[in-house]
Structure 1
């Protein structure tokens, strides 16, 4: 059911981008995508990402019977969100004004309305993460993964058929409204789940530890969940809005491919955690080999289709997007690197080596912050594309190197074929 919700949400997002590209000029699409991406990134700061520590802190407190600490963790997250949200919104608007004064002035109402989504998206993410570790994955995730994108697509369609002259202001307004309705639905679904925070004592004493965990996980969250948004936000410093629209569309197409690879990683994570804890090397190698082949070969086929038929696929979005086909051809290396090098971030996380995830992500983000705006200024869309691939490749290579050196595990394609090749060579030499 959860996977079906994810697939439905991905399909709704695809059609939203398609309808948006067909109905609005590329310049308007670019503004909309920049506002959505930058507000998504800003929403992380409304809670300092402490909800990402739910697996460690909330589950641990519940299992030990520390109901007061469990309630304290949830309430502290919400109070931090309440205090930080207006500060983050003000900082977002000031940053937009000073960093991109021309666009911020021209599209003031788009940025202003969009800023309200910062607090809404932050609230959705808090409750979704908490619900996931409290065994209410469907109730927490469906409003975010499925209902919100369907609502957004529906509102866009209603606006068009109602005869509205669709502008960035209207679309961002629909985006905020969809998030607000999703919050209401999520609140109703999760109200019984959070009954434990409405009565009894609350212990906030570990709040420094909660904040530290969230802060250390921000960098990996950006890489794993908001990489596309980061690329679009950084590209906005050097690319015109029409080029941003092209970049957004090709990134969304790559995102659909990433979704399939991520589904495989999600499926193997529980089993991988068990075999790593047992130090069951044979089962671990078998599991990693199966995972690699499930991702790599379908990934190569789909990536090849995007390269071969890129212009045809992009023509569906409109003739203005066909020229982004070369960028699409290079961006396929992002999912291919994910498939080729293996689920190294998952292995590091399971093994308690989060520090190396943090450091790898920080290096990758710093490279992106420097390279993407500069490459966009001098080489346009292709420059941004190549800089994005390089920065993501650095993340994958660093996590691969950490797993290889610290744990002696090779989760890549090379690792999956090394032992069969060694066995074949050994048998051949024995026969001769």
Structure 2
């Protein structure tokens, strides 16, 4: 049911970054559910992680190890290894240790990532048995296979790639992500992996990822639930024959920042387009806020309203639900007489009530589209924010009611 999401685009290999896929049969025999990624020696790695207090064991371990040196990522699907306490942490450490043994590196150079059902013991033996096959499969061109290997309830793999030329040298940025439900960012969201062959100092790389995540992954929501396992990683392998980026300035940094942002935005929006049961891709734009935070508060109040989301699914221009959400967003001293609300380019409400020019047919025509824009003009200041979300369908309920069966 993915909205406007087709086959993967060309995903350019990133020199110095390899991916290998194997089957551990965690939930289904034969399912490709293990992905190993290898970073060239000397790579720098940055990461952003969930702020959920019940963060998963692999998140705890990866946060400790991300400053490196990092050589391998180990991802499993089908089991989140979250809500598993000390045994879960020991299980994550054990799988990393086994991969490190096979690869001939220190165990601290392996970062684990898990996604799937919360609260069940990690099937360590199954994962360990698949690691040899994953290592044997390592190749720089395996991005598309890895994008499929990290999927859970996703219906399609998600990836994006950009290249630019600086001083005659081609620089590549490629990324993949997974996620379709339990999506409400609180750092990044879901699992995401982006790599470039540029050489970037770790501090600059971390700031670059944090900024990109805030503009992309941190601006999407499907159901308002922040996962226990959210992680997004950015790797700079340093294989491109260019000077190291040591500060956030200059032409090379600007081009790299733009490429990373574009890849992040594309794979983040792909998560929304493939939201569980989604039939609509919805952009919520809030302009004229006194602060950026109040713009976000209004946008998320609209995006998380079950009444609005079900109206979107039904293609029902029930604009009163939007006004109600804006009014309860918690913006202090909100003057509703200054607020205009638009569906697409159609003004549906103005100065606190129904717009004089609005007709039900106009609203219905916009709501019948697969891609819908909701724009709210607060008239309070110069701040703006945009987020992306979905409708709420029967299929979403079905998927999550039957998730463990």
Q: Please report the TM-score for the alignment, with normalisation by the length of structure 1.
A: 0.27
TM-score (norm 2): 0.29
User: Per residue, is there more helix in 1 or in 2?
Assistant: 1
Greater RCO (CA < 8 Å, at least 6 residues apart): 1
Name the one with the larger strand percent.
2
